[in-house]
Structure 1
């Protein structure tokens, strides 16, 4: 894949309330993705991040993160429905087949931390020697033994958060158990899976191989990966990867806002194929939104600019957790302003793999602009990369030199936090002497001609709405 781009195909409120009324086609996501396969590929996307496609505790209403049965992809009558929120297994497989016709790679959102919606409760002894009644028996009555004969009971978990005997909530560890060796706290929610239990470990890895080799996915996004046993993440990647001749792709969702700590996480898993979302870079986009970011140092921010790790960064602006209509339980806020400056930054950058959010693309009126930026990425974003000496507190410029394999490539990207309405002009060395440039975004109508030393007076509009430009060479 050359200059790959990821599309996240869902959001938290999909097919609920006003979204169900305004976007009724999203009620059957698998069908919708199949129908739009050609359009998605033509726009320049390479990978699609699917939501968890398995049955959740809330059945057809579950976004997917309340994992009940990994092996039920909308095939069995369980939790009040056959289908999941997004469709049936048959529709999922049809979508996979159709999307693959356009060489699109598909990532499955794997929720490996916990289970919810147990079928029965049982009495257990806790670490503090007290007794509890807990919901930890998963018998999967609708599926039976198809695909997997493993039934879950308290032995398959380290602990949970609800004692039905005392009607008390709180993290509780079962007797004879220890929390797994995860990067952050092992316990997150629900019934916490015990990956020191070999049956649980083997069944989960077998499921991963099934998703790749039978269902047809091309990789995984690991939900809340910093709360999952480190060696389990490593083994899951290694064994699923070895089971397939495909070039698989893996992303960990380790919500860590500090670059050094995010590097520590990658080192704790120690698998070269694991990418992670660049949450530290997104924090800088929040500063940009507020007008607080010093643009001089933007080229040093995030994992995407960290030596030896930049190629493992998945850059993004929003996801289903950071952008919600109602107040999120997460300590963040949506990037409500200067979002296109952020997209321009991640899509023109040499390093990292940029991800586009479904709501931004389809609901917030940004599709046309994002399509334009992706097209610029695919046509012009090649060659060496460097920051301009003209960068100041308010305006940032970034240059791609172009290369011989892509005739006519190379660009000057400019973004600004100015809101004075003026045209901001900077002397930027593009690396191409005596070359005429035009703004591919159309925000600036003028053309720029570089001199014998490759310097030109490049421009960007000083507004929050259009404070981004991508200058590319005029075709000879």
Structure 2
């Protein structure tokens, strides 16, 4: 979707690492038919959009090194399977976003196999090639590591060739060079195929800030202008969310041409706050980021998450403490934006790096031999000894699963929480950094949200200008049920306050 066009944006999104979600055929690998079998589960949970990690043919377990942009990884299924998944999702009102990798391909992609043959090959210009003298002259033989790439030496040998190719993430993933008009035409065809011919609803765009290398980085924003026009031509309602793993100031200009970007600053701030039990003035920082984003796009979408497939799972970040796992969800689903849940967060899955162990199989049942549970990896963190499976959590009203489900329902039914455009957020200052409090104003019904980040009970007083907010519409604190009767909040608890029933329409704020 062109970044200046409003649309019915899905509110609750769900990231699926396909290999680890659900196995339909007993080969130990999650697949598209497995996801189809769980569409009713996702719909019942309240999911409105699914982001699928890459589904194209690829030699790796994660599939971020694409061999063919027009086909489905055979381990995951067929194009017919994908079309059935798309139709099943749409029948339930669920959008499908594909992970589109435009920064690089696999070295096994036919383009690169041709490019590496000779300097005269027409595909040579699809990638970045330099000899050592050119690399040294530009001073680009080394780079500083970043959150999204630990590679220090990004230039890689091509046997028998005096030129090296550039691969930011790994020698098996050479970066594409969009100075090539022929390559741009190829990308346009790929976008049109998936949006127009197949009918997907949008793309999650991998490594968006790296689509041009660091020495040519000013071209990246120009590329996304080109890309946005292609998307608009293929499907004016398609949605784009970019992975711009950087600080807010660098992220903001990408909103010119993308509908959304993931808010990594918020993700890491929430993790620090949950560990320390202290607020970092996150509401003031969020408001400042919103003011910056809207300079580039008044209809920006703030894509928010706790963690994703490249980060250690929030359950492990907070030491497996169920109360903190629930608190993390309470914060995420009451802040403005478009929340993305990483599969398994709703059952408290655990995971620490290296990467395969933050992508472990979903626990559907307590059966150790559950055939729908992928077995491609022996899990180290999410096991039947450490995490309660979904089947048991569904029968426990106090479970992480029911906490998520209740919060998602609240998010979708309270207009103050579900507003995405023009984020409605103001700080509520309670004079204690153990408390995180904010105001979500709305014409229908405004809300005050208070979280106790700390390990001890804390006193608080609702400010005078919010004194009519006495009705509790959500609480994880046993001290409070339907009405605010105490000025204390239990550790790691949250309450959401609405105007009391006696408040007149004129008093509602």
Instruction: Tell me if both proteins adopt one fold, taking TM over 0.5 as the criterion.
Output: yes
The reply on whether 1:387 has 2:427 as its aligned counterpart is yes
Deviation at residue 234 of structure 1 after TM alignment: 2.2
Alignment partner of 1:470 out of 477, 496, 507: 496
Deviation at residue 378 of structure 1 after TM alignment: 1.6
Which residue of structure 1 aligns with residue 412 of structure 2? 378
Which residue of structure 2 aligns with residue 415 of structure 1? 451
Is the 1:322–1:334 Cα contact (8 Å) retained in structure 2?
Answer: no
Alignment partner of 1:238 out of 221, 225, 229: 229
Deviation at residue 166 of structure 1 after TM alignment: 7.2
**Equivalent-residue separation in structure 1 for 2:451 and 2:13 (angstroms):** 22
Is the 1:113–1:188 Cα contact (8 Å) retained in structure 2?
Answer: no
Distance 1:153 1:277, change over 3 A: same
Alignment partner of 1:98 out of 88, 92, 95: 88
The reply on whether 1:314 has 2:307 as its aligned counterpart is no
Which residue of structure 2 aligns with residue 214 of structure 1? 197
Give the alignment's TM-score, normalised by structure 2.
0.67
**Equivalent-residue separation in structure 2 for 1:360 and 1:24 (angstroms):** 24
Distance 1:105 1:335, change over 3 A: farther
CA RMSD in angstroms comes to 3.6
Q: Residue deviations 1:4-39, cap 9 Å, x none?
A: 11111227x727xxx989x97983432233223233
Higher normalized contact order (CA 8 Å, seq sep 6+, divided by chain length): 2
Is the 1:281–1:303 Cα contact (8 Å) retained in structure 2?
Answer: no
Alignment partner of 2:461 out of 426, 449, 452: 426
Is the 1:114–1:191 Cα contact (8 Å) retained in structure 2?
Answer: yes
Alignment partner of 1:346 out of 312, 332, 337: 332
Is the 2:13–2:49 Cα contact (8 Å) retained in structure 1?
Answer: yes
Is the 1:20–1:26 Cα contact (8 Å) retained in structure 2?
Answer: yes
Which residue of structure 1 aligns with residue 103 of structure 2? 113
Which residue of structure 2 aligns with residue 79 of structure 1? none
The reply on whether 1:163 has 2:157 as its aligned counterpart is yes
Which residue of structure 2 aligns with residue 14 of structure 1? 20
Which residue of structure 1 aligns with residue 124 of structure 2? 154
**Equivalent-residue separation in structure 2 for 1:397 and 1:253 (angstroms):** 28
Is the 1:443–1:461 Cα contact (8 Å) retained in structure 2?
Answer: yes
**Equivalent-residue separation in structure 2 for 1:320 and 1:348 (angstroms):** 22
Query: Which aligned pairs between 1:260-409 and structure 2 lie closer than 5 A?
Result: 260-263=249-252, 265-266=253-254, 270-271=256-257, 273-291=258-276, 293-295=278-280, 297-302=281-286, 305-309=289-293, 311-323=300-312, 334=317, 336=319, 338-349=324-335, 351-362=336-347, 364=349, 366-382=400-416, 385-404=425-444, 409=445
Structure in which a larger fraction of residues adopt strand: 1
The reply on whether 1:438 has 2:472 as its aligned counterpart is yes
**Equivalent-residue separation in structure 2 for 1:42 and 1:304 (angstroms):** 35
Unaligned runs of at least 5 residues, structure 1: 75-82, 122-134, 140-150, 180-185, 326-332, 451-455
Is the 1:112–1:223 Cα contact (8 Å) retained in structure 2?
Answer: yes
Deviation at residue 418 of structure 1 after TM alignment: 1.6
| Secondary structure in structure 2 of the residue aligned to 1:193 | coil
Distance 1:444 1:301, change over 3 A: farther
Stretch of structure 1 that moved more, 212-221 or 229-238: 229-238
**Equivalent-residue separation in structure 1 for 2:308 and 2:9 (angstroms):** 23
**Equivalent-residue separation in structure 2 for 1:252 and 1:303 (angstroms):** 20
Distance 1:396 1:303, change over 3 A: closer
Deviation at residue 371 of structure 1 after TM alignment: 1.2
Is the 1:400–1:412 Cα contact (8 Å) retained in structure 2?
Answer: yes
**Equivalent-residue separation in structure 1 for 2:160 and 2:234 (angstroms):** 46
The reply on whether 1:228 has 2:264 as its aligned counterpart is no
Give the alignment's TM-score, normalised by structure 1.
0.72
